[in-house]
Chain A
Amino acid sequence: MAHLPRWGYLKINNLIIKFYHEKKLSIEDFFQLSEDEWQTEFDLGYKETEDLKKAKSELVNNAFLAETLINEGYEIIPITSPEYSKTLKANLKAAHAPALLYVKGNKQIMQEKSIAIVGSRSASEIALAFTDNIAMLASREHKVVVSGFAKGVDKQALDSAINYKGQSIIVLPQGIMTFGSGFKLYYRQIVDGDVLVLSTFFPKAPWKAELAMARNPIIYGLADEICVAESSEKGGTWSGVVDGLRKKRIIYVRKPETSERNANDLLIQKGAIPVNFDGKPESGHYPLTSANSAIFVRENEENNQKRILDLLKNGEYSAKEIIQKLDLNWSEKQLRVFLENQKDVECMSGKPLRFTLKDSTIKQKSLFD
């Protein structure tokens, strides 16, 4: 259903909202309904019913492909799944959010804080250096870097995030099954849980310019923050940013030197927020990185660290449980790294990993102590 020709995301999502949320029907049950029921209960016309009938008849065929997908470790995440990126749903809403995500890698990454670093395929040295710097700052703060696997800024953002041991989402301009060599290239990062590869297109669709354009809103949608390294006056970055501004997204753009020939200033005129090399906004704008409020952050973090260690005195917890119990604003990875670096904390093997304090005497004292 997700790939019905001439069915836009809005139409698909509205139908899903109707049967899944309003009528509490699973998609399987929905497809068991008669054509009459489709037409009367869901206001579907003849054309739509015919499309759905065709989709239904293809279910058995698609089962063969789905089995291959799953067997090769790809996952299919429908918009109704709790695993679906909440950021994406919130940013794109029913009108633009794709009904299905095809992913491979650490899905958890989609739930972390994220930043998209975007820009031209033929970016200048300074734009690439800026990209590298922002990726470093983001990785240090455990923000996931979202990028589109194009030449130039995209590739730089990804490589830098990997280089600084951060996490990344690669948003493909093609079907996920056609990314073979890429999976080999980022094998270690995927195994280590630092990279997620994501596509919204039919799994076997080859690269196409239209798909590359259609992929841009997904990059923006997956990110909490958007940062433009360099844009020309046309092309993917330009239209993506303009589209983002129209959707009322906050978009940061690197303030160019006067000698540069690009459209960064134009975007700033259109409402994007200018930032310096370290991603700091010009005065009066909301901060991109937390570098300028470092003191507050440090105090707050120290307090959090104490709360975590106190909690561990009482027993064993997984990273997720700790975050929930203490209502922390941390990513799981950030917490794990922190805990693994504490010499008093013991990491109990298993899945998920659980943590506790090493010295058992600190644990709940007995009445006789």
Chain B
Amino acid sequence: MTRQEAEQLLQNTFKLSHFYDEQWAAIDKLLKGEQVLLIEKTGFGKSLCFQFPAVLHKGMTVIFSPLIALMRDQVKKLNLLGIAANCVNSEQTPEENTQIIKDAISGEIKILYIAPERQENSEWVEATRRMNLSMVVVDEAHCISVWGHDFRPAFRRIINLVNLLPKGLPVLATTATATKRVEADIAAQMGGNLTTIRGNLMRDNFRLLVIKVNSDDEKLIWLGQNLGNIPGTGILYTGTRVNTEIYSKWFEYLNISSASYNAGLDPESRIAVENGLMENRWKCVISTNALGMGIDKPDIRFIIHTQIPQSPIHYYQEIGRAGKDGQPAYIILFFYGEDKKLPEAFIEGGRPAIPKYEKVITAIKNEMLGERELMKRTNLKQTQIRVIKADLIEQKIIREVTVGKSKKFEYIPGAPQLNTKTFEELRASKTRDLDKMLEYVETTQSRMKYLCDYLGDSSIHDFTNCDNTGLKKRTVSVNEEWTKKLQDFREDYFPELDVETKGANLVIGIAASYYGVSNVGGALHRSKYENAGDFPDFLLRLALKAYRKKFGQEKFDLILYVPPTKSGDLVKNFAVKVSEVLKFPISHNLIKHRTTSEQKVFENSYLKSDNVKDAFELKTPDEVRGKTILLIDDIFDSGSTIKEIGRYLSNLGAVKIAPLVIARTVGGDLV
């Protein structure tokens, strides 16, 4: 097919007049059954490069994409054009997915998006035997490479699959962000006759600014003062989930409309925020970097980072979502010296200590284990198990197999020793990347050029789109008014405890503070472990304030407190004081009828639950029947203890149990 003929078809089907040269180069090769790696910036029109040939092919095209939001979005658009497209993903019900797979088998779907993890699903693999497949696309192909910024183990299998495909079946791999090293890695892994097409990365509608500050407070203040003045709507990226919460409460306090988003939200909430973003419902969406990849919103007018990303690739990828319509977009990065500690901690702590790896290897050598069994055997956090598991699979020491319906890990006979050198190389490489990101902050050259150079694009442009090349430099002016505002906000902000659970009449409770974020943690630690006596009075004041904020003038029938494992009467004395102020009766009858270990000994919530299971007893069980209970403890971590007591009291007839604690830890183990 000539380009002219193709463009005629393009007009008819996609309502577009022509291809870019690089698009046609890719499409031409795919139509000839070749393999192509396409590296083009966001907004270039990579999708058309597979959607167009997909329409021409007799059979179906399968697109492996890690981004569910993108799947949904593209399916919607293709359907509007009258092209039969659909997606299979974990956010749809199994029945929906089964139906879509059936449609795919009967040839009713032209373009099917699926997540790479789907290759682990036997229903899918079984179904592929009966599909008429014409082309395979690997989207976000940088996820194939451990040298990229977002390596995903599930992509390893997709690569193996690609290598098993027969000659002559067109394969397209696409990415917006690949350094030369990642490009080479992808090409090597895909093997064979791969043609790489690489475009330029210049985004001249960006307004790149770096704002250096002296504290996190100054970031909050600058945003309070200026966010309203930036045109349009956009995204604010924070480094942690806790910070998405803090920033969103701050904006709420200032009456700036915002929504917060992170990967921990349930699918409905996530879809709601994504839709709200599309409809400009808020000035900004505050998010961890989980949001935005693949969201096809042309008019994101600003992207602000309150926390420096780990590398220029992360940064380019995240800001790439702004200004796809070509109109100006503000790209702001805050920085103060302490900020580098978070990415440093990610790099240092990205991998568990080697003995933990050995522990996992030994456990799996002895028996075939699922993830949950493995967590129980090794007392490791789920996050750590997942990192270790991915590394061990990568190093061909273990593999994941399906036994019946469950996934188990098995040891590979004759496997090599754990290679820790790779870990050191990766760490060194990540440290270099972080240094390069820090250099971006300090550079006096064009920031756009700096990013393009880093990503292996050395094409020549007129770079005038940053605060080093003509745009005004921004700084923070802290004044008394704003310092006061921030202070008031801080004293009025308390983390919630989401403990609602099946089979218990627990309601959402409240903590006086986060454990690591303020002076609260230190005070608790001194009382608990350094014999500093009762919890100081300021903790009581703060806890009561949190109580008032959450529960107002509500009365509870009874105060109970969590009986201690070790730290004596601290919680009891604290609860007595709360009871004196709030004038609710207190009971001392909740006890442990068997010894438990301190919860902090256990690294994961399965073991924490096991530790406290059936450990509590109310000496006077009738005391709580039909009552509302305020349940007091010092530190809230996984919530296992509160939930266990909640279930127990509910069984005894308590109608409402609300937890009040002094501090809530940041994180928990089941992220």
Contact = CB atoms under 8 A, between A and B. Distances in A.
Mostly, the B contact residues are mixed
Contact of B413 (A59, A106, A180, A204): A106
Interface in B381-409: 399-404, 408
Contacts of A67: 119, 125, 157, 160-161, 164
A365 interface: no
Nearest to A61: B129
Interface in A161-191: 180-181, 183-184, 187-188, 190-191
B164 A193 contact: no
A105 B413 contact: yes
A61 B130 contact: yes
A65 B125 contact: yes
Interface stretch (A69-77, A85-93, A306-314, A317-325): A69-77
Mostly, the A contact residues are helix
B222 to A, nearest CB: 50
A180 B402 contact: yes
Nearest to B131: A61
B167 interface: yes
A59 B129 contact: no
B358 to A, nearest CB: 15
A63 interface: yes
A197 to B, nearest CB: 12
A192 interface: yes
B666 interface: no
Contact of B411 (A32, A62, A191): A191
B260 to A, nearest CB: 38
Contacts of A193: 413-414
B540 interface: no
Contacts of B133: 60-61
Given A60-B169, A67-B160, A68-B119, A187 B410 contact: yes
Contact of A63 (B161, B168, B411, B412): B161
Interface residues of A, number: 34
A31 B167 CA distance: 9
B167 A28 contact: yes
Interface in A313-344: none
B401 A72 contact: yes
Given A59-B166, A61-B128, A67-B160, A181 B403 contact: yes
B132 to A, nearest CB: 8
B417 interface: yes
Contacts of B126: 204
A190 B415 CA distance: 12
Nearest to B128: A64
Contacts of B160: 67, 70-71
A183 B167 contact: no
B498 to A, nearest CB: 37
A183 B403 contact: yes
Nearest to B166: A59
B413 A190 contact: yes
B411 A65 contact: no
A71 B411 contact: no
Contacts of A351: 414, 416
A32 B167 contact: yes
B166 A60 contact: yes
Nearest to A108: B414
Nearest to B160: A67
A56 interface: yes
A349 interface: yes
B103 interface: no
A258 B68 CA distance: 74
A315 to B, nearest CB: 23
Contacts of B399: 71-73
A71 B166 contact: no
B367 interface: yes
A67 B156 CA distance: 11
A63 B136 CA distance: 12
B489 to A, nearest CB: 51
B652 interface: no
B166 A63 contact: yes
Contacts of A64: 119, 125, 128-129, 161
A52 interface: no
A123 to B, nearest CB: 30
Contacts of A70: 160, 164
A32 B166 CA distance: 9
B166 A73 contact: no
B177 to A, nearest CB: 26
Contact of B129 (A62, A180, A191, A349): A62
A2 interface: no
B169 A184 contact: no
B389 to A, nearest CB: 14
A66 interface: yes
Contacts of A192: 413
Contacts of B167: 28, 32
B197 interface: no
B161 A349 contact: no
Contacts of A62: 129
B59 to A, nearest CB: 9
Most buried by A among B366, B400, B410, B416: B410
A58 B368 CA distance: 34
Nearest to A31: B166
Contacts of B478: none
Contact of A73 (B125, B130, B164, B401): B401
Interface in B94-132: 119, 122, 125-126, 128-131
Contacts of B161: 63-64, 67
Contacts of A60: 133, 165-166, 169
Most buried by B among A60, A62, A187, A188: A60
Contacts of B401: 72-73, 183
A61 to B, nearest CB: 5
A267 to B, nearest CB: 37
B563 to A, nearest CB: 42
B198 interface: no
Interface in A13-33: 28, 31-32
Contacts of A32: 167-168
Given A31-B166, A61-B129, A67-B119, A180 B410 contact: no
A66 B164 contact: yes
Most buried by B among A68, A72, A181, A349: A68
Contacts of B122: 68
8 contacts: A28-B167, A63-B166, A64-B161, A67-B161, A70-B160, A72-B399, A193-B413, A349-B417
**Nearest 7 CB-CB pairings of A with B:** A64-B128, A59-B166, A63-B164, A67-B161, A72-B401, A61-B129, A180-B403
Interface of B: 119, 122, 125-126, 128-131, 133, 157, 160-161, 164-169, 365-368, 399-404, 408, 410-414, 416-417
Given A180-B403, A181-B403, A187-B367, 10 more contacts: A32-B167, A60-B166, A62-B129, A64-B119, A70-B160, A71-B157, A71-B160, A105-B413, A190-B413, A191-B365
